[in-house]
Structure 1
Amino acid sequence: MFKNLIQKLDLRSIAFGALFFLIGLVVQAQSLSDIQNLKVDNLSDAQIEQLIKRAEASGLTVNQLEALARERGMPASEAAKLRQRINELQTAASSENGINAVGTGRSVNGNQEQYLFDSIRRSDPYYDLSPFQKKIFGYKLFHNRDLDFSPSLNLPTPQSYVIGSGDQILLDVYGASQQSFDLNVSPEGRVFLPNIGPIQLGGSTIAAATARIKTALGRIYSGLNGSNPNTFIQLRLGNIRSIKVSMVGELTKPGTYTLPSFATVFNGLYAAGGPNENGAFRNIQVYRDSRLITTVDIYEFLSKGNQSSNITLQDNDVIIVPPVQARIEVIGPVRREGFFEVKPNEHLDDIYIYTGGFQSSAYRDRVTVRRIENNQRKVIDVPSEEYSSFSPEDGDEILIGEALDRFVNRVQVTGAVNRPGEYSFEEGKLTVKGLVEKAQGLKPEAFSTRATLYRTSTDLTLAAESLDLRGILDGSVEDVVLENEDLLFIPSRYDIQEEYFVKISGEINFPGAYPYASNMTIGDLILRSGGLLQSATNSSIEIARRVRDASSGKIAQIMMLSIDPNLQLTEEEENLPLQPFDHIFIRRSPGFEREQLITIQGEVMYPGDFAIASANERISDVIKRAGGLTQFAYPKGATLVRRTVYFKGPTEEELREATLREIKDNLNPETNRNINEAEKLLFERIDKKLAQKEQERLIKEREQERMRIFESTNPRDTLFQDSTLNQVRITEQDLVGIDLQKIMQNPGSEDDLFLLEGDIIQIPKELQTVRMVGEVLLPTTSRYDKKNSLKNYISKAGGFTEEARKSKTYVVYANGDAKRTHNFLGLNFYPELEPGAEIVVPKKPQRNRLGAAGWIGLASSLATLGILVDRLLN
């Protein structure tokens, strides 16, 4: 920015030095033991960050830190401010890093620990400033890490530069003679020229030194002087010297600084961190040899770019920043709010130059000034004509109001017009008809019979006036003159009536509600909903129509209709057009049945799926269709797996969708052969239908999820929510015990069950084992021997355990049937065994034995009962 500067300063070291200095100033305030004395508004983001670090080092979370502050006496308002500042920092940090920052300030990235606020520190050049410091006009100038005050080394040697001890002077002689000299200024201020001797240059400017050297060299180079010289000289600086400047007063980092000799006042101020929050920005004094050389006004640079007072410093100069004498605060809609330093001769007009002027929303006719006078506060109203004469004083708060959010020439029109919105008007000249013309007329659906004019009264209450809009537009009714803030509402016919629709359900491709159209027939609605399914009947279509007269007791009017199978328009259909809200039911054809499949697994000649041929088809019939049993079949072990009422198989709609997907996959040109035009059109139709069904499924799933959440928060049936009971009660398939050997010997008997869809007949190979489970010492499987009884097999399993309930032992046969043990006169009669059977020995139930107190209670009850009986008998 400043091209007369020479040497770059190390911004990073200055920034970190400023940070450490600020932290050092508030280390006592940030101590957790003294947290109750914190003034949050005086802390910068960096200091808040250090406070969080201290809390984390002590093992405290953010919530615990706030609780600690309240416990130690921090006012509630300061604690709320602290919490708000921490939340703002964490929110900004989490958004910068894309992570959740609640409760902690650190995150692990690989093997390095990255502090969460690093990104904010890098992005905010004023991270180290408190909110109060940020509001001081000019304060940010010397604390912006992105602002470079480094001197430029590419500037030509200034003719006004004052030569001093340590400077390197490069002297070039050119023209008729050629010579170069490298001269160093001695501590006495002299340079030594060969063949000439010492020349005093210290304290001279470059221009004066050039003239002095030219005079001295004229004794050697005669072509230098005269009216027509042919030899010339050029004097320039090589390495410049360093100077020491003392920075004192209200500075962030006062002290003595070593600067390049090209440095200006601003370079020195930047090195010292600029004025602190109590320092003056408009009366910075530069002393040289105990004399005041100049006074620097930073505001002149910030507002006008004036650097006339930004002089080049010399060795041993002293820069003094005195305390601020008068500072005011400007609040309200100006371009730049904050604290501003004022001089005694300045007025409000001068202050607005520094604020950037009023915003468009500002109220400019008057400002309010709050002032402390005679140890009490007062308010001063300053009209706009006094801005140039009113002088602010120290501590004044200048409050700027906002313009009223009210229009003086606005009318509005909403509703069924082509261009609704706001329009201007002249008092007494715009009417309702003119406003409609401005809005380019009514829309076709406008309800022109009646409109409403909403008018704002003088007391800001709302009044409504009904208008005959049709009469106003055709001239049969007197027009109405509009006033300011009038709002004309013209409704649409659709806004004042229920949306018309018709519904169709049943055997149709896309059941649901569809928009009603006048003169629509049932055939039109069937076409609109994707056509009839193959299972639909066209001869018994039912129409449910709303009844307007509820006094008759009828809820709906039911009508029956037949349509042409090819959907050709018939006279009957044409004479019965649909009305709004009709519900059409497409019934299933009585003779339509979808194929029903059962499965045979195991030892038959042709296992697999079979379609049920008739409603009275039995197990023996389908076994014969499967080629009969094989020679290895074990009919007594055959089982039937049948669906229960809880079985949730695919619906007909899902089956149709699965079929469509199979067709689509077989027609997909990316995975199959090339398809012809007809197949391509079929592929596109199926793809469109599947996409529509997918959309309907998503809507249904969202509704089901909403209902599931509602039911989870509003339990209805405790029994239904018992998952353990439901696991037993609600099963989708049951095992039905059958005797296939008996069925095949007596087809059509009671044992020969009718088949149902989804039945699975399992016919195993001949079984040769018996399994023992439950309360036996060694649960195992043994070879079947018809000579062995149940107790023999229990012996092979090691016998009963002590917990075995022998009397309840039961046998599960291979076909799913079970038999229990019978008891007679204390003797157990165990069931017979067959190949593939399973012996189950249950466990004795746990019983709570009576303790001493229990026996005493029982004895007392018996004694009481005995006494009662005795008295009844006597």
Structure 2
Amino acid sequence: MNKKNNNHISVLRLFFTGLFLVILAISSYGQSVADIQNIKVDELSDAQLEQLIKRAESSGMTEQQLEAMARERGMPATEVAKLRQRINKLRRTGKDTQSNTSTSKEVEGREWIQSEEEFAEEEIEFTEEEEKIFGFKLFRNKNLNFTPNLNIPTPQNYILGAGDQLLIDIYGASQFEYDLNINSDGLVFIPNVGPVNLSGLTVEAATSRLSRSLGSIYSGLGGSSPNTFMKLRVGNIRSIQVSLVGEVFSPGSYTLSSFASVFNALYAAGGIKPDGSFRNIRVYRNSKMIAELDIYDFLVNGNQSSNVRLEYNDVILIPPVEKRVEITGPVRREGFFEMKNDENLKDLIKFSGGFSSKAYSNSGTVFRTTDNEFKVENIESQNFENFVPKDGDKFIFGELLDRFENRVQVSGALLRSGTYALEEGMGVKDLIQKAGGLRADAFMNRAALYRTREDFSLEMVTVNISEIVMGNEEDISLKREDVLYIPSIYDLREEFYVIIGGEINRPGSYAFAEQMSVSDLVFRAGGLKESATSSQIEIARRVKDDVSGKLAEIIHIDIDKDLKILGEDKNFVLMPFDNVIVRRSSGFQRSRFVSVEGEVLFPGEFAIAHANERISDLLRRAGGLNQFAYPKGATLIRRNEFFEGPSEEEIKSTNLTEVKRNLQRIKRDTTEAEKILLNRIDQKIEEKGGGISNKSGGLLIDDFKKETIEDLVSDNDSLPQEVVKTQDMIGIDLVSIINNPGSPFDLIIQEGDVLSIPKLLQTVRMRGEVLFPTTARYEESNGFKSYISRAGGFTDKSRKKRSYVVYANGDVRRTSGFLFFKVYPKIEPGSEIIIPSKKDKEPLSIQGWLAITTTLTTLVLVINQLNQ
């Protein structure tokens, strides 16, 4: 009994499962193309959307047509956009299937996919011949696919056929909508009317026939005063199948939209082969040729009236090319062109875009074949229209000669130098007048006329300009390609300038002017610096015509702060190439600073008061040592030649920038005086940054030292790299300095010095070739070896003889030797013991051992021989 119940339950489960699957199938089928306006795209799964696309494809619709039908059926624009996005997403992930209206073929190693939004293809590399064939790239260009636009009203001349969907709207006194499909017999069945044959009719004719047929139902459609109206629209466009044969890359049958034209078919087939005809493309319908297409008419004239719309079972034939010629030279489009039998050379020039501006169009040359060989013919321009090209002809046109038949040129001291047309009887005077006349600085006594002879050699004719202009000499007749050069008086002399340097705001070279004084030049150079002396301004003047050995004439003058020349030199004027030098005032000194850090009462920055100020003076100004100071560890840090400090100009620029910043911090509107001051500061800062800075500190000898050390380092990598430091640590004996101020231990301080005084140090550090580098507490009773023992002792690589101690003040003491004894340096608080390592020795090679053995053997033999 239980077994029977179990079987009964199993049967019920199978029944309900099957029923569920049937309901699911019906539900899935409900997402049909006809009900697309009711679909919610967000509720569709990818599988349901894929099924919808497949149904559309089975009806002959592309994805574009599916969207158009959804829009026609009343689907909201937002849902249409979502549908497009979902379809594109499916296409990218590779889940959708390719529609029947698309054609996918492998053509010459690339994939052609004709769809609404993309045309995927690999980049095509054309051969040299293909590049030159006019029109070859037209159907192999992914940016020009000729896809028909379906988002337009159906043309009235569109011919209906089986598979077309007709949407008939009745409006006015009566309202109704019909959704009809033309069946395979060309009929549509209208309820209460019956079948109506529409196949082969245009939309316009079908509208008229349907209006008459529906008139039996809607009486308001007819009569002189109709009150009911009808609108016929084509919804789902049918697909058609056409065949392409002949010289195309991928001949065969293609399923296309019924809106497709011949160009669409050619593009779907991958384009025409290099040997195919572009001008005799034939379209056959029902075994009769209905059109002959010339692509050149589209490429040259933009006319595609012969690009007929295709119908089901049409055949497109692309025959081989019959006549192709080549044209090269200065034409707009060089290459190969297909010619018809009734076309001439003038037509070929038209196809090539015509001649360029540099072309010599009076004649051309053609290379053509005979029955046995090649031959050359020349064609004059008057025969272009009568010359009929032959297959294989190559036409070559030349360029204009690179010469002028009537050119003369004039340059130099004229108002309008340039190129002018040579007129009959023109002379030098006429050319000068055409050039606007002479400038006031023209050199009148002599000019040069460069003339080209018949053999293309140059001839120079001397011209006296002043005599010709005044009429005292006969004018010189000009010839083609003559070049007249009239120099300026300044072209014939060295350019004059003067130089000013020293304590001036803008040193440099300036243009010389007549009657220029030293005051004028100082004014032009921005005035004197604060550091300049107004007396003993030196002028170095060139010496001419002096064979005594004198090199320059030195002149001294005095000026005041108002730039007035004092004394007897008030009428002194400068001469070309004078060099003015403004000296620095002997009493001017720039502030220089040093620093004291560490254990003093008043650490910080101090200005150097006197040129001979010493460490003891600086220490006294800092308040002396405090109770924590360790004077034996004091160090003086001093800049070396590698230190690149700011120049005076850079220091001034920095200070002015700080002044400007502080002015701008004021929490109120700036006054007129402050605005003027800010503008003046900006100008000064810009000038200081303009590359006029003096040498940035130090003496010239420091630069030579620096260059010498850098050269040594570059030539010898074994030199210590510490030489590139910009500061050195000088060991000083501060105890002796305090006890004996002014003694040799008491160094004179320099700008940038830092006196560093540490606290009392209580440690000793061991570094280098010791077993355990460490830092130990200082004990006065311990010596060098005791501290080495605290570090574990020497290593096998240690160079004991080379060990040394660096003291806290920077002094260094090395280990010395006496006979067989080593004298190690004394250890003080803060010392650092350095144990260097031995150099690694390379093992003796086999060749070395053989050489030693050979030498010893030879020596033994020699000694033995001597003993005998």
Give the TM-score, by structure 2 length: 0.73
Please give the per-residue CA displacement for 1:222-264, whole angstroms capped at 9, x wherever unaligned.
99999x9999998967566654433222223322334555655
How far apart are the structure 2 equivalents of 1:771 and 1:268? 92
Indicate the larger mover: 329-338 or 758-767. 758-767
Alignment of 1:512-523 (within 5 A): 512-523=508-519
Alignment of structure 1 residues 86-485 onto 2, 5 Å: 127=124, 129-147=126-144, 148-150=146-148, 154=152, 158=156, 238=234, 242-259=239-256, 264-304=261-301, 309-311=306-308, 313-428=310-425, 430-485=426-481
| Pairing partner for 2:106 from 12, 17, 20 | 20
Q: CA 1:476 to 1:794, structure 2 compared with 1: closer, same or farther past 3 Å? A: same
Q: Secondary structure at the match of 1:538?
A: coil
The equivalent of 1:620 in structure 2 is: 616
What is the CA–CA distance in structure 1 between the aligned matches of 2:597 and 2:616, rounded to whole Å?
14
| CA shift for structure 1 position 366 | 1.0
2:757 aligned residue: 763
AA aligned opposite 1:587: R
Q: Relative to structure 1, is the Cα distance of residues 620 and 242 closer, same or farther in structure 2, using a 3 angstrom cutoff? A: closer
Q: Percent identity?
A: 48
Aligned to 1:691: 686
SS where residue 503 of structure 1 aligns?
strand
- Secondary structure class of the residue paired with 1:551: coil
1:509–1:218: structure 2 CA closer, same or farther, 3 Å change rule? closer
Q: In the TM superposition, what is the alpha-carbon distance from 1:394 to its structure 2 partner?
A: 0.5
Residue 681 (structure 1) aligned to one of 676, 682, 691: 676
Equivalent residue number for residue 85 of structure 1: none
* CA distance in structure 2 between the partners assigned to 1:222 and 1:835 by the alignment: 126
Say if 1:264 and 1:311, in contact at 8 Å, map to a contact too: yes
1:345-393 per-residue CA deviation (whole Å, 9 max, x = no partner) reads 2211233333333333322211211112124221111111211211101
Contact 2:649 / 2:694 at 8 angstroms: preserved in 1? no
Aligned CA distance change for structure 1 residues 251 and 537 (closer, same or farther; 3 Å): same
CA shift at 1:210, angstroms? 8.9
Q: Distance in 2 between matches of 1:760 and 1:184?
A: 103
- The answer to whether the Cα contact below 8 Å between 1:18 and 1:273 also exists between their aligned partners in 2 is no
Give the residue type in structure 2 aligned to 1:150.
Answer: P
Give the one of 491, 499, 505 matched to 1:503.
499
**Alpha carbons 1:451, 1:468 under 8 Å: kept:** yes
CA contact (8 A) 1:333 1:400 kept: yes
The aligned runs of 1:719-730 (5 Å cut-off) are: 721-722=715-716, 724-725=718-719, 727-728=721-722
Verify the 8 A CA contact 1:8 1:152 in the aligned structure 2: no
Q: 1:566 aligns with which of 562, 565, 570?
A: 562
Conserved? CA contact 1:522–1:573, under 8 Å: no
Deviation at 1:201, TM superposition (A): 7.1
Amino acid in structure 1 at the alignment position of 2:450 = Y
Where does residue 10 of structure 2 map in the other structure?
none
> 1: CA distance between counterparts of 2:617 and 2:229?
128
Secondary structure, counterpart of 1:588 in structure 2: coil
Structural RMSD (CA): 5.0
SS at match of 2:449: strand
2:626 alignment counterpart: 630
Report what 1:546 is aligned to.
Answer: 542
Deviations 1:577-599 (A, max 9, x none): 11111112222223333334333
- Aligned residue in 2 for 1:38: none
Alpha-carbon distance change, 814 to 378 in structure 1, aligned in 2, over 3 angstroms? same
Q: Secondary structure at the match of 1:590?
A: coil
Distance 2:727 2:309 in 1: 99
Match of 2:41 in 1: none
> Following the alignment from structure 1 to structure 2, what is the Cα–Cα distance between the partners of residues 729 and 178?
103
Which residue of structure 2 aligns with residue 607 of structure 1? 603
CA deviation after TM superposition for structure 1 residue 807, in Å = 5.5
Alpha carbons of structure 1 residues 622 and 379: separation in structure 2 relative to 1, 3 Å: same
User: Is the contact between residue 110 and residue 122 of structure 2 (CA under 8 Å) also seen in structure 1?
Assistant: no
| Deviation for aligned residue 1:797 | 4.3
Alignment partner of 1:695: what SS? coil
Q: CA deviation at 1:21?
A: 0.5
Quickly say closer, same or farther: Cα 1:386–1:218, change in 2 above 3 A. Answer: same
Other structure's SS at 1:598 match: strand
Superimposed CA distance per residue, residues 790-818 of structure 1 (whole angstroms, 9 cap, x where no aligned partner): 44444444455555555665544444444
Deviation at 1:396, TM superposition (A): 0.8
Is the contact made by 2:170 and 2:231 (CA closer than 8 Å) also made in structure 1?
Answer: no
SS at match of 2:514: coil
- The 1:630/1:460 distance shift into structure 2, 3 A limit, reads same
SS of the counterpart of 1:422?
strand
Could you say if the C-alpha distance between residues 208 and 123 of structure 1 is closer, same or farther in structure 2, counting changes exceeding 3 Å? closer
Mapped to 2, the partners of 1:827 and 1:177 lie a distance apart of: 133
Q: For this pair of structures, how many residues does the alignment match?
A: 757
Aligned twin of 2:49: none
Partners of 1:866 and 1:733 in 2: CA distance: 63
Kindly provide the CA deviation profile for residues 608-628 of structure 1, in whole angstroms up to 9, marking residues without a partner as x.
Answer: 333333344333333333333
Give per-residue Cα distances to partners, 1:651-672, cap 9 Å, x unaligned: 44444444444434433x1577
Out of 747, 753, 757, the position equivalent to 2:741 is 747
Distance (whole Å) between structure 1 residues aligned to residue 219 and residue 738 of structure 2? 145
> Which structure 2 segments of 5+ residues have no match?
1-59, 66-90, 92-97, 113-117, 697-702
Query: Displacement, 1:155?
Result: 5.7
Task: Tell me: CA distance 1:769–1:309, structure 2 relative to 1, closer, same or farther (3 Å).
Answer: closer
**Cα drift, residue 326 of structure 1:** 0.7
d(CA) in 2 for partners of 1:473, 1:842: 92
Q: What letter matches 2:530 in structure 1? A: Q
Q: How far apart in 2 are the matches of 1:230 and 1:380?
A: 75
Tell me the distance in 2 between the aligned counterparts of 1:412 and 1:254.
Answer: 65
How many Å separate the matches in 2 of 1:834 and 1:172?
Answer: 114
SS of residue in 1 equivalent to 2:691:
helix
Q: Give 1:597's aligned residue.
A: 593
Is this contact kept in 2: 1:126–1:144, CA < 8 A?
Answer: no
**Distance in 2, Cα, partners of 1:369 & 1:254:** 36
Is the CA contact (8 Å cut-off) linking 2:242 and 2:253 kept in structure 1? yes
Distance 1:214 1:606 in 2: 114
Mapped contact 1:598–1:609 kept (Cα < 8 A): yes
How far did residue 343 of structure 1 move? 1.7
After superposition, the Cα gap between the structure-2 partners of 1:788 and 1:511, relative to the gap in structure 1 and judged at 3 Å, is same
Distance across 1 between alignment mates of 2:641 and 2:226: 122
